[in-house]
Each structure stands twice: as C-alpha cells, then as structure tokens.
Amino acid sequence: MIKKGIILAGGTGSRLAPMTKVTNKHLLPVYNKPMIYFPIDTLKKSGVTELLIITGAESAGDFMKLLGSGRELGVHITFRVQDGSAGIADALKLAENFVGSDNFAVVLGDNIYEESFKTFFDNFRGGAHIFLKEVAFAQRFGVATLNKQNEVVKIIEKPKNPETNFAVTGLYLYDASVFQKLKTLRRSERGEYEITDVNQQYIDEKKMKASFVKEGWSDAGTHESLFFANKLARDIALGGNMKN
C-alpha cells in the first residue's frame, strides 16, 4: 500500500524558455490550473494525501505562496529544497527522512494523467512499479523493452534508436530500499543521476512490475507537449474528472 507521495518540481525548465525565465515551469498554467495541481490531483485520486514537494531554492517561496499547507486542496504538503539540478534520482535522495520505511509514489511535476491509479497504489507491496505509454516519439523518454511475458527486461534513457515505443511515464512506485540504490549511482554522460539506473536495479533483482496507462497522459516539458497537455487538461476538466 502507498502511504506517501513525492512530487519532483525542480529543474530549470530550459526547454520551455522564455516562459520559464522568471518562473518555475511547474507554476505555468495548463488550461485552467497551475501545472503543479495536476500531479497533486493524481496522488489525491489514488488515495494519497501526505505529500512532499521538492523544488529549487529560487522557486520554493512561490510554491509555498500558491499551495500553503495544502489544506485547500485536501492534502498535507511538506517542502524540501534541492540545491542545484543533478537529475530526478538526485532530487529523490531528499525524500528519505520523509518516507522512512513506507512504500511511496513519485510523480514528476510536469506529468498529467487522466486516470486514477488507486488500485495499483492499494495493491503495491514492495519492489517497484512503473507505468508505460506507447508514444510516437519515444526518443524523448526512458524506453522499456518487454519480453514475451510482458515483463520489463531493460530501460534505456532517451535512446536514439529505441527498440520499442513504450515510454516510461513520470509515475513510479517504490519501496524504501530505493534509497540504498540511490547511494550507488554515478553520474551519467548527461551529468545527472538517472532514475532509469535505479529502475534497472529493480529489473535486475526481478522486483520491477509495469502497467500501461490506459487513458490520456502527457508530459509538459516542451512547447509541443505543453500544447498537448493543455488540450488534455481541457478534456479532463470538461469531462468532469478533475476533483480538486
């Protein structure tokens, strides 16, 4: 069972410049809400209301001003500040005290999901679980290769020639053993600590499960994907599925 949720909302947002020149990308509007509301809603719909938001020092005050304690959104929010920007896995290290020995979920702050994952959250008992989506441009993401039993055998980060079109979306379920795995990582060629390397450790231990996202999903990290995210958010809102 998942008891706690972490939203990663740091980074420079350089791919969305100049819109991010004076603000964090996760505070940009997506249809009728700030972007950060969507990962909060994903966790809330899945039954998790104890949240940690990790962001950079230059934006922490803006997040606190917008969200406060989270009471207005029906959640409880704690904040942690990430110094620098060395990748998703590096940011996740800051959550160890918050998580303790609990199982938890991680959502990237620029990911928008249409569906609820409550069944997966309720049934999670350990290891790791990722959520895949077949996409047209898999080169932008971590890409999963499956065997004939639909088990993940490897994940390659942003491959030039992906073996499949199965993108690893920005929602992850982990047990607390992830923090020991994080301590073993080395920087990638991009100079970052990659979440893909963490996931590969779970795959090697045969403790990784994967499911496909059935309904709408988009990240919002580029101009094109932000445009698509706005359309998805509009469809969600008009369909009555957003429950803030």
Say if residue 150's pLDDT is above 80: yes
What does the H/E/C string look like for the chain?
CCCEEEEECCCCCHHHCCCCCCCCHHHCEECCEECCHHHHHHHHHCCCCEEEEEEEHHHHHHHHHHHCCCHHHCCEEEEEEECCCCCHHHHHHHHHHHHCCCCEEEEECCEEECCCCHHHHHHCCCCEEEEEEECCCHHHCEEEEECCCCCEEEEEECCCCCCCCEEEEEEEEECCCHHHHHCCCCCCCCCCCCHHHHHHHHHHCCCEEEEECCCCEEECCCHHHHHHHHHHHHHHHHHCCCCC
63-92 pLDDT tens trace = 999 999 999 999 999 999 988 777 889 899
Task: For each of the domains in the chain, give its residue range(s) and CATH number, in order of start.
Answer: 4-239 (3.90.550.10)
pLDDT value for 242: 42
Say if residue 171's pLDDT is above 90: yes
**29 preceded by cis ω (within 30°)?**
no
88-109 pLDDT tens trace = 898 999 999 999 999 999 999 9
Q: Distance between CA atoms of 12 and 21, rounded to whole angstroms?
A: 9
pLDDT value for 45: 96
Q: Distance between CA atoms of 111 and 113, rounded to whole angstroms?
A: 7
200-229 pLDDT tens trace = 999 999 999 999 999 999 999 899 999 999
pLDDT value for 236: 92
Q: What is the mean pLDDT of residues 122-128?
A: 96
pLDDT value for 78: 97
Name the pTM for this structure: 0.94
Is the CB of residue 215 less than 8 Å from the CB of residue 133? no
pLDDT value for 227: 96
